[in-house]
Amino acid sequence: MSDRKPMIEFNDIQKFYGEYHALRGITATIREGEFFSLLGPSGCGKTTLLRTIAGFEDISSGAVLIDGHDMAQVPPNKRSTNMVFQSYAIFPHLTVAQNVTFGLRRDPRTKAEKAGLVEDMLGKVGLAGYGKRAAHALSGGQRQRVALARALILKPKVLLLDEPMSALDRKIREQMQVELIKLQRDLGITFVLVTHDQEEALVMSDRIAVMFEGEIAQLDDPETLYRKPASRRVAEFIGAMNFLDAEVIGQADDGITVVVDGLGQVVLSHSQVSTAHDGTVAVGFRPETMTILQDGQTSDGLETLGVIEEVVYYGDMTYYDVRLNNGKRSVRISMRNLFGRTIPDIGANVRVAWSPGALILFQ
Amino acid sequence: MKVSGLKCYAYLYLLFLYAPILLLPIFAFNDGTVIAFPLKGVTFEWFGQMWENETLRRALTNSLIIGTSSAVLATILGLFAARATTRYRFPGKGPITALIMLPLVLPEIMVGSSLLIVLLGLGVDLSIVTVILGHALIATPFCIALLSTALGSLDRSLEEAALDLGETKWSTFWLVILPLVMPGIISSLLIGFVISMDEFIIAFFLAGNEPTLPTYIFSQLRFPKAIPMIMALGTCLVVLSVVLLTIAEYFRRSGLARAGLKDTGGFL
Amino acid sequence: MATYTAARREAKQGYVMIAPTLIYALVLLAAPLLTILAFSFFKDGYLTVIREVTLANYIAVWTDPIFRAILLRSLCVAVMVTALTVGTAYPIAYFLSFGVSPGKKSFWLFLITIPFWTSYLVRVFLWKVIMGYNGVINSGFEMLGLMGDGRLFEDPFRMLSTMPAIAVTLAHCYAPFAILPIFVALEKIDRSLHEAGRDLGESRWTTFLRVTLPLSMPGVVAAVLVVFIPVIGDYVTPELIGGGKLPMVANMIQAQMLPLDNKPMGSAIAVSAMVTVTVIALIFVGLVRIFVKGAK
């Protein structure tokens, strides 16, 4: 993947709206054929950044390169990118086929050839036979498919998707996510997705840029992002993470010695230290990295004692709030409800298995 | 309970609103020269008289020319203003809009007399052209109101989508904006036409010696003999207005439906 | 520097877009109104206007008892019409907003606006027919046997050439102008506010007084302004219904402008009337702002 050539390059992009500093020096590269996501809370600048690729947003300084060409003087209609809008922007006065063929007006091919292309593309997005339908009579999911077909029929180098799933019901959303991944794999086109939904980004992307306040906080593949978040903020935004107060008491070449509230003294390797610094020292771990042991069950790792303070039942999962060794704060542990496993009651004393390798030191 | 009481009141109010219009055809077909009860039988004489009247025909022609021209002019002016106010932010937008919308509250006599002074001062001869200028001025705010709704309900990403798919700003206007706003434009044209056809004061001040339908009607109301024919004429005008307004309303609604929006109100 | 270019470019496009309409309004509306203002300070010469700044017109206008009487009458009529129109329109707007199902709202609005768009002159004249000496109302009573010697009413009613007759006619003409702004204001009110009012122990009526009415005040204010100001300038109704015996300001302006051809005097009357109306309207808006919270 990493050997592919760059498709989009952001060089120190700055964007101001009046006094408001919307993009603060974005530098990043999106590679050819990659499914890339811009993830962040609303107002973090992710949509603005996407729109600078399409050419709808002027940048105050810096440069956007598409396939090696500076886009500064190139208007949206001359860029080899196409967009799926958040509202889908389906032309309500046209039929489905007319919408899909909209961008082919200047294409020299014959009408029959174009009609064939349209039917082909509608088939690819699962709308075969819908060509004659009026656009304003479509459902949300169908609109999105039309928007996809309309953009993809032009064979863009990059497809831009602005929160395309946000208006869909959960079931249809999950279905569309899978279809989009397949479509991207088949076509090999670079996809850039904007989303505020971390789950969606994790499911779909090859790489994710997490943005806060106009800056990229971390750019990594989903697994690295989840396993080794660069900062506390990224860790909190992607999935859930427990934080325990900690104190560094020794640094050596083979590791860092830390005293962790509720867990005691631990030696962490240098690779377990987050790259960004946000002030307070804490040790974090994901809820699924600890296990509440059943009576008589043994574990290969370390064990500690805890008291159950809260039980939240989710069907396939149960979340437990556990106070470890009278620590200052309780931690959340998630467990799959495997067959035959009993759920301890609130107040029960339990043994908890954990591994130092799952800890991350934030400082 | 409360709502049904209100409903009765609403029907009475409608009766009040429609009373004059309902009486109109009664007297238009009444075989008597005096406009009073009791009625005297049915006649088509007044409609015949109306048909043969030379001055009336001239007034009608003038009114049609004035109505069409001022409707087109007001709709074009309205399109520019509505596009500017719904799409762009610029300093001074409030005062500028207030000035353009002022004829909505300004008594027509102020528009008529002030234009009269300026036109005479400039040595412009009064004609139907001067009436067109005045009528376009007072119809523009209504057109702006209608067109702003039409343009304001346009999703801005539709324009961006067209640009994104390779169209220029100009072709986007023709291919996307205009078709979607067309129903609004048609209702704006019809409303502009109806306003102009019905306007009296400005025509009275600015038409010079040319009659328009309202100034002709006003001149005839003094002569009791002419009244039955005016009733017949009024009936025709009411029918015409209702037809045009129904068409306008149809286009306004189909415009909303096309844009996939819910209906939120009527004119204005 | 680069910071403001986007906003400035947008402003420039906006100005270009609004320019045709703005220029039209400046040339054909603002300039003529300023000319009237200028004329009101000029002197009238026979068939010409002498460009010499003087307050003589205003002195003549305001010392003229006829003008004062006419202005006072116009204001009285305007107040009557406004009270009548807005007072009767409020329940209709309320009914439209709360009593009509959403699907039927635009049909009702359409019904209400239709009479407004049909020949104004003919409508006014028909009120003359309705209220005339042997008009619809009087002959109706006669047919019902309620009128004549020893009956319920001795003589036919003399309604024409009275201020109430003028007021009723004008109220009819301006009805949609009052209904629509109030309707729009009522439509904007969040429906759950009513439920909240009821939930907090208010009756339907007190909920109306404490929630709906204050929130709809902006609409009422708009309705008052949109009726009060143009009514002052109505020419046709005093002429037809008042029979020329009860002239209002517009009739006086017209007389000075056309038959008497004293344009400076006509201008001074027009300016005086408009200034008076504007001042009254501003005072009204100010009072509402002070006394009703929630009105903007």
Short-list C129, C127, C242, CA closest to B37:
C129
| B150/C contact by beta carbon, under 8 A | no
Residue with tokens 């500093």: A21
What is the average per-residue pLDDT within A192-197? 94
B160 to chain A: closest CA residue: A56
CA distance B110 to B112: 5
| C275/B contact by beta carbon, under 8 A | no
Domain ranges of chain A: 6-227, 240-363
| Cα of A18 to nearest chain C Cα, Å | 6
Lowest mean pLDDT among A151-155, A303-307, A326-330, B73-77: A326-330
Looking at every residue in chain B, the average pLDDT score rounds to: 85
Pick B166's closest partner by Cβ from A87, A92, A103: A103
Comparing A193 with A17, which gets the higher pLDDT? A193
Tens-digit pLDDT profile for residues A325-360: 888 889 999 999 888 888 888 999 999 999 888 899
pLDDT at B268: 40
CA distance B102 to B129: 22
Residue C261: band (very low, low, confident or very high) from pLDDT cuts 50, 70, 90: confident
Cβ atoms B191, B143 nearer than 8 A: yes
* Cβ separation C229–B83 shorter than 8 A: no
| C281/B contact by beta carbon, under 8 A | no
Range among A102-106, C44-48, C98-102 rated most confident: A102-106
pLDDT at B240: 85
Show residues of chain C in contact with B191, CB under 8 Å: 117
Q: Which residues of C244-280 are buried (b: 16+ CB within 10 A; e: fewer)?
A: eebbbbbbbbbbbbeeeebbbbbbbbbbbbbeebeeb
Domain ranges of chain B: 49-258
Cβ atoms B259, A94 nearer than 8 A: no
End-to-end CA distance of chain B: 31
* Cβ separation A91–B161 shorter than 8 A: yes
Tens-digit pLDDT profile for residues A70-94: 998 888 888 999 999 998 888 888 8
> Is residue A319 predicted with pLDDT exceeding 80?
yes
| C13/B contact by beta carbon, under 8 A | yes
Tens-digit pLDDT profile for residues B217-250: 988 888 888 888 888 888 888 888 888 888 877 8
Cβ atoms A69, A24 nearer than 8 A: no
> Is residue A195 predicted with pLDDT exceeding 90?
yes
What is the average per-residue pLDDT within A27-39? 94
Architecture of domain A240-363: Beta Barrel (2.40)
Cβ atoms A338, A248 nearer than 8 A: no
CA distance C177 to C41: 34
Range among B74-78, B173-177, C40-44, C170-174 rated most confident: B74-78
The rounded percent of chain C whose pLDDT value lies above 90 is 13
Comparing C196 with A111, which gets the higher pLDDT? A111
Out of 3.40.50.150, 3.40.50.1400, 1.10.3720.10, 1.20.1530.20, the CATH code matching B49-258 is 1.10.3720.10
**Which tokens hold the place of C88?**
């009767």
Q: Which fold has domain A6-227?
A: Rossmann fold (3.40.50)
> Is residue B1 predicted with pLDDT exceeding 60?
no
Cis peptide before B38 (omega within 30 of 0): yes
> Is residue A62 predicted with pLDDT exceeding 70?
yes
Show residues of chain B in contact with C15, CB under 8 Å: 84, 90
Handedness of CA C71, C74, C76, C82 (dihedral sign): negative
Chains touching chain B through at least 3 C-beta pairs below 8 angstroms are A, C
| Cα of A83 to nearest chain B Cα, Å | 7
ipTM of the complex: 0.85
* Cβ separation B265–C11 shorter than 8 A: no
Cβ atoms B42, B252 nearer than 8 A: no
* Cβ separation A103–B179 shorter than 8 A: no
Tens-digit pLDDT profile for residues B4-29: 788 888 899 998 888 888 888 888 88
CA distance B237 to B199: 13
pLDDT at A96: 93
Residue C2: band (very low, low, confident or very high) from pLDDT cuts 50, 70, 90: very low
A308 strand-pairing partners = A322
* Cβ separation B16–C113 shorter than 8 A: no
* Cβ separation A93–B258 shorter than 8 A: yes
A351 strand-pairing partners = A293, A305
pLDDT at A38: 96
Choosing among C3, C4, C10, which should be mutated to test the A contact, i.e. which has the most A CBs within 10 A?
A: C3
Pick A106's closest partner by Cβ from B157, B166, B260: B166
pLDDT at C3: 47
pLDDT at C296: 40
For the beta sheet containing A282-285, the strands, ordered from the edge strand earlier in sequence to the opposite edge, are A264-268, A255-260, A242-252, A282-285, A360-362
| A61/C contact by beta carbon, under 8 A | yes
Cβ atoms A253, A267 nearer than 8 A: no
What is the average per-residue pLDDT within B95-102? 93
* Cβ separation C122–B38 shorter than 8 A: no
Range among A18-27, A68-77, B62-71, C155-164 rated most confident: B62-71
Show residues of chain A in contact with C5, CB under 8 Å: 58
What is the average per-residue pLDDT within B85-97? 90
Helix-then-strand count for chain B, H and E:
12, 0
Q: What are the DSSP calls for A31-81, one per residue? A: ETT-EEEEE-STTSSHHHHHHHHHTSS--SEEEEEETTEE-TT--GGGSSE
Looking at every residue in chain A, the average pLDDT score rounds to: 90
The rounded percent of chain A whose pLDDT value lies above 70 is 98
Contacts of residue B168, defined as CB under 8 A and 6 or more positions apart, other chains included, come to A77
A137 to chain B: closest CA residue: B260
Looking at every residue in chain C, the average pLDDT score rounds to: 83
* Cβ separation A17–C6 shorter than 8 A: yes
| Cα of C6 to nearest chain A Cα, Å | 8
pLDDT at C132: 77
* Cβ separation C3–A61 shorter than 8 A: no
Choosing among B156, B160, B164, which should be mutated to test the A contact, i.e. which has the most A CBs within 10 A?
A: B164
* Cβ separation A89–B155 shorter than 8 A: yes
Tens-digit pLDDT profile for residues A271-294: 888 876 666 788 999 999 999 988
| A58/C contact by beta carbon, under 8 A | yes
Domains of chain C, each with CATH number or no CATH: 63-291 (1.10.3720.10)
Choosing among A57, A74, A91, A142, which should be mutated to test the B contact, i.e. which has the most B CBs within 10 A?
A: A91
Pick B117's closest partner by Cβ from C36, C105, C106: C36
Residue B36: band (very low, low, confident or very high) from pLDDT cuts 50, 70, 90: low
| C22/B contact by beta carbon, under 8 A | yes
Show residues of chain B in contact with C270, CB under 8 Å: 109-110, 113-114
Show residues of chain B in contact with A75, CB under 8 Å: 163
Show residues of chain B in contact with A136, CB under 8 Å: 257-260
